[in-house]
Copies of this chain bind each other. A is one copy, B any other.
Amino acid sequence: EDRISIQNQGNPYDNEPVRNLDFIERSKIPYNAEPHLTQLVEHFITPVELFYVRNHLPVPDIDINEYELEVDITSTGVSRTFSMNDLKTKFEKAGVTAVVMCGGNRRSEMNAVKEVRGLGWGGGACGNAIFTGVRLCDFLTAMGVKSDEKSHVILEGYDRDPTYTPYSASIPLSKALDPRGDVILAYEMNGEPLNRDHGFPLRCVVPGVVGSRQVKWLGRIIIGDVESDSHWQQNDYKSFSPSVDWDTVDFSKAPAIQHMPVTSAICSPNPDHHEIKFTADGKMEVKGYAYSGGGNKIIRVDVTWDQGKTWHPADLVQLEDGENVSAGRHYAWTLWNINVPVEKNQHYVEVWSKAVDSNYNCQPETFKNTWNLRGVVANAYSRIGINLK
């Protein structure tokens, strides 16, 4: 008689996917984990099993045959639903190679300067994958949505909090409708159906934009004239002046993070793993990634091993300009490597990296002057100290 309410009292985390990953867990419930940096940087396309997982709520368990995507256009009152079969058969299949990066990536480095609130991410809360599905601009244009500078696209997930409120975030309509924005309703990641942790069966991939807007388990799209009113859009994923504390913060005063700023991270060697590789002539091999949001290309990664007295451009691995990669559409990351000379008797070396993007924006030097209470957009120079003996 009371079966439904008894079911509802079950542990919402009883049905998480089986995970068998060599990950660094940042929280078990909800599940949040990142790969070891030395592994992350071994692949230009991040394998799914090395792609960080950032869940805000329990993972939905969706039957693909019952799956529905609802679309509501506030201005015209149009409301429609699509099955997965509709998405796969009624629209051209398209893809993008893009980074998804958590707004809290590298937070632990900012936390080291002064405590911040949030999951203690290292530099592994990002990955670079091929996402395939339906172009959101095609989809919305087919629905009759017209360009409008004031509208937003609200994206709701099937993941819900204890009050049954779904995870939700929004992006500007201009980004969604821009053919060069490359927003994808993705049902595949690296050529395979999304797995449950990555949003099965559908994730909205918003290249160049912070991970929290790239809603997984996508259930509903609403076109309207306001941003999402969710906690994550309004009272999280925003940055403030270093002097703003939890007594004085006013979340309404800062814009929601959309495009991510330029960043880089030294991934190998990693002080936590003591794996140092040397070239035949005794140089230390250093590798990392660099990325800038908004479609901006990484044009240079400068590395120093003498506290900035001399800077040395690293070798870059990145997608070449072509039909789908061009000025303003560099949504993939750049891997980089450089060999650092060390003396025979040297005990210690400190290495810093800083990336420069196609707008000639560069990383700030320190976390001290960009510190913010939430520890987001932590993009200062990457610095590692390595004990050589």
Q: Which A residues between 287 and 304 are near B, CB-CB below 8 angstroms?
A: 293-294, 296-297, 299-300, 302
Which B residue's beta carbon lies closest to that of A151? B326
Given A299-B254, A311-B241, verify A363-B364 contact (CB < 8 Å). Answer: yes
Contacting residue for A174 out of B327, B358, B364, CB 8 A? B327
Check B369–A300 contact: CB distance below 8 A: no
Quick one: copies of this chain in the complex? Answer: 2
A242, CB-defined interface residue at 8 Å: yes
Q: Select which of B241, B262, B363 is within 8 A of A300 by beta carbon.
A: B241
Q: Are B241 and A150 in contact (CB under 8 A)?
A: no
CA distance A174 to B257 in the complex (A): 25
Q: At the interface, yes or no: A193 with Cβ under 8 Å from chain B?
A: no
On whether A362 and B364 interact (CB within 8 A), knowing A150-B326, A241-B312, A328-B174, the answer reads yes
Q: Is A368 an interface residue (CB 8 A)?
A: yes
Asked if A354 is an interface residue, CB under 8 A from chain B, the answer is yes
- Contact B254 A149, beta carbon cutoff 8 Å: no
Cβ-based interface call for A79 (8 A): no
Does A115 sit within 8 A of B, measured CB to CB? no
CB contacts under 8 Å to B, within A269-305, are: 293-294, 296-297, 299-300, 302
Residues of B within 8 A of A7 (CB): none
**Contact between A358 and B241, CB atoms less than 8 A apart:** no
Q: Say whether A313 faces chain B, with CB atoms less than 8 Å apart.
A: yes
* Chain B residues positioned under 8 Å from A364 (CB to CB): 362-365
Chain B residues, Cβ within 8 Å of A377: 360
A160 at the interface (CB under 8 A from B): no
Q: B365 near A365 (CB under 8 angstroms)?
A: yes
A324 to B148, CA, bound (A): 10
Q: Which of A334-385 contact B (CB under 8 A)?
A: 354, 356, 358-366, 368-370, 376-377, 379
Pick the contact of A366: B259, B358, B365, B376 (CB < 8 A).
Answer: B365
Give the distance in Å from the alpha carbon of A369 to the alpha carbon of B352 in the complex.
12
Interface size on A, residues (CB 8 A): 58
- B294 with A359: CB separation less than 8 A: yes
Compute how far the CA of A174 lies from the CA of B322 in the bound complex, rounded to whole angstroms. Answer: 13
Contact for A243 among B255, B311, B379, CB less than 8 A: B311
Q: How far is the CB of A36 from chain B (nearest CB, A)?
A: 27
Q: How far is the CA of A323 from the CA of B150 in the complex (A)?
A: 7
Chain B positions within 8 Å of A174 at CB level = 180, 326-328
CB distance from A116 to the nearest CB of B (A): 15
19 contacts between A and B (CB under 8 A): A149-B322, A149-B324, A150-B321, A150-B326, A172-B326, A172-B327, A175-B327, A175-B328, A241-B302, A243-B311, A257-B360, A258-B327, A261-B360, A261-B361, A308-B368, A308-B369, A364-B364, A365-B365, A365-B369
Contacts of A356 in B (CB 8 A): 239
A359 B259 Cβ-Cβ under 8 A: yes
* 164-215 of chain A: CB within 8 A of chain B: 172, 174-175, 178-180
Residues of chain B lying within 8 A (CB to CB) of residue A326 = 149-150, 172, 174
CB-CB nearest 6 A-B residue pairs? A149-B326, A259-B359, A360-B377, A261-B361, A365-B365, A361-B361
Asked if A243 contacts B312 (CB within 8 A), the reply is yes
